[in-house]
Chain A
Amino acid sequence: MVAVPKIELVDLHKSFGNNAVLTGINLRVMPGESLVIIGGSGTGKSVTLKCILGIERQDRGGVLIDGRDSTTIDRRAFLRSFGMLFQGAALFDSMLVWQNVAFRHLHARRPMKRTAARELAISKLSRVGLSAETADLFPAELSGGMQKRVGLARAIATDPSVIFFDEPTAGLDPIMAGVINDLIRELVSEMGATAITITHDMTTVDRVADHVAMLHGGQVRWTGPVADMTTATDPWLDQFINGRATGPIETLR
């Protein structure tokens, strides 16, 4: 039997006004696999994730989840075992840090007791390298990197089976970035989660990815197993991973 991809994008198109951002994305992520998406800023990586979630509606093309058109599936059921770290963390600034992390538990059909939810939030915070003291602060009192990690704690709070990370290590120091990379790898390897990670950080690619996809010009420029990346001859990929100023990718965008 052929395995069905957890998530598959077929010829995805998305424009904002005259700005054609995605012009035919084809991509598949198998269950329990970690895909890392790289690409210049503004190439539509975040928009791709939003189309998968239905937060943005694509103009053309399809999103398949477990082989079924995402517009026909029970989206609520999918979201129940889903977690996402947004690029800007997207923490609820009217709530304390622990209330953000335990949001699902506090607002479930049968809500968890507040003390238990707080305990749980603190244990999740420790997994992203944040002390218990941060739990009772407001998001606005944290640095950008700390907010990012709270967002990560919130995304993994219910041990989801599908997780999206939008630039998880942006704004973090190298040590903390290492902690986060290991955490993502652990979620995939040990918990069996399916993960899509957007990053500009090549160490994240090395540590987290099973597969890599590079977006450029609204399409997937290169995709393949992470091991093939170093031997790939694609000039776009080569320029990107080596950070060269000269090459086919224009630096004026």
Chain B
Amino acid sequence: MLLPRLALGLLASIGRSTLELLRGTGRVAMFAAVTISHLVRPPWYPTELLHQLLRIGYFSLPVVGLTALFTGGALALQIYAGGARFNAETVVPSIVAIGIVRELGPVLGGLMVAGRVSSSIAAELGTMRVTEQIDALTTLSTNPVKFLILPRVLAAVIAMPVLVGVGDVIGVFGGYLVGTERLGFQSTTYILNTIDFLQVTDVTSGLVKAAVFGFILSIIGCYFGYHSGRGARGVGQATTNAVVTASILILAANYLLTEAFF
């Protein structure tokens, strides 16, 4: 008696969450489509874009740079340990570079920026929603999507590839530091090995990923902030949802993009 009921309840709850997920996906997709449609409809607010480029791009540099530096270093140690098992220690420079540029740079950079930027966008827009600043924009003849959302999304899409590009260089440098200081590589050998095996598509695929992740983390932050519930609780919920959703979507998108570039 109890078992079938539990099973049914479980099925129902799976069905409900699936439906909710689909509905949510649809709403986010609509939101993204509306945002993109404003790209071709004036007025635009270039000073807002500059503001956001500074906030999202420039001020994320330390986070992305440090992440890349430590990741590059750790990667060099790991690959050395792995490579030593079949006398292939010399692959360290090229594998570090490929690992950073194709995968870890964009993914870890994306996750770090999601933590930093999705949350702050969601909190900011959520507070603006709760304190009626978004309504006030409308009464001042200003479209909130054009004024608030589009600049943030554009800024993230532009800034992320640049951030990841810089992060790539720093990450490879982290590997180089560990390689030359701890693992006994010759400086020139390490650099030559890095450059020789790295292909242009390694770099470009990583940068395309970065742009996609920039879009995801900004549109998700905007979505949850813009539709924030009432009160401090609503804003807190929006912030959490934004970071969690953006991170998961970044990882999922990373898999799909990797398949596509494979």
Contact = CB atoms under 8 A, between A and B. Distances in A.
Interface of A: 50, 53, 55, 76, 79-80, 82-84, 86-88, 90-93, 103-104, 107, 109, 154
B136 A92 contact: yes
B140 A103 contact: yes
20 contacts: A53-B138, A55-B138, A76-B141, A79-B140, A79-B141, A82-B139, A84-B136, A84-B139, A86-B132, A86-B135, A88-B131, A90-B132, A90-B136, A91-B133, A91-B136, A92-B136, A103-B140, A103-B142, A104-B141, A107-B142
A86 B138 CA distance: 12
B136 A104 contact: no
Which interface class (under 10, 10 to 19, 20 to 34, 35 or more) fits B? 10 to 19
A193 B140 CA distance: 17
B82 interface: no
Contact of B135 (A55, A80, A103, A104): A55
B139 A83 contact: yes
B261 interface: no
Interface in B148-162: none
Contacts of A91: 133, 136
Interface of B: 43, 45, 128, 131-133, 135-136, 138-142, 147
A107 B132 CA distance: 19
A109 B139 CA distance: 16
**Of B43, B135, B139, most A-chain CB atoms within 10 Å:** B139
Contacts of A50: 135
Contacts of A90: 131-133, 135-136
Contacts of B43: 109
A210 to B, nearest CB: 23
B141 A92 contact: no
A53 B139 contact: yes
Contacts of B138: 53, 55, 79
A86 B136 contact: yes
Contacts of A154: 140
Given A107-B45, A109-B43, A79 B132 contact: no
Contacts of B133: 90-93
Contacts of A82: 139
A214 B84 CA distance: 84
Nearest to B45: A107
Nearest to A50: B135
A107 B141 CA distance: 9
B139 A79 contact: yes
